[in-house]
Amino acid sequence: MASFLSRLFGNSRPVAPERNLDPYEAATALLIEAALIDGVYANIESDMIAELLVTSFNMDAQTADETLKKAETLSEQAVDAHALTRHVKSLDESERVSLIEALYRVSFADGESCKFEEAYIRHVASLLHIDDLKRTSARRRAEANSA
């Protein structure tokens, strides 16, 4: 019993390895996570993400497809948004704001937004140091583009 408690509360817990992730792959994984919040990763959402990679991050179609495949695997392994956002923080602020807008566009892609998606996007924006004014502006742009 003492051994169990020692392992449970001791400092011998394994530490997750530090990974150097491409910030665009991490950003794409965040987009996938937003799509998965409602429990369904529909084709319309994955198509929207691929389109956003081309339009928002200036990738060609082949690079966008490769990034999407890598990010899908990364999303399956991700523990939380913080593990991904720490890599995305290396992007400049305008790209991080574009990511917030992209998160909203993915959220609206299936025709409806839910409170859990909104909460997730607020959380990610906070982790990326995007203030409420910029986040709200990004949401308005996303709403205008999805109409």
| pLDDT of amino acid 16 | 43
Per-residue pLDDT, averaged over 108-135, amounts to: 91
CA distance 50 to 43: 10
52-82 pLDDT per residue, tens = 999 988 999 999 999 999 999 988 887 788 8
R_g over Cα of the chain? 17
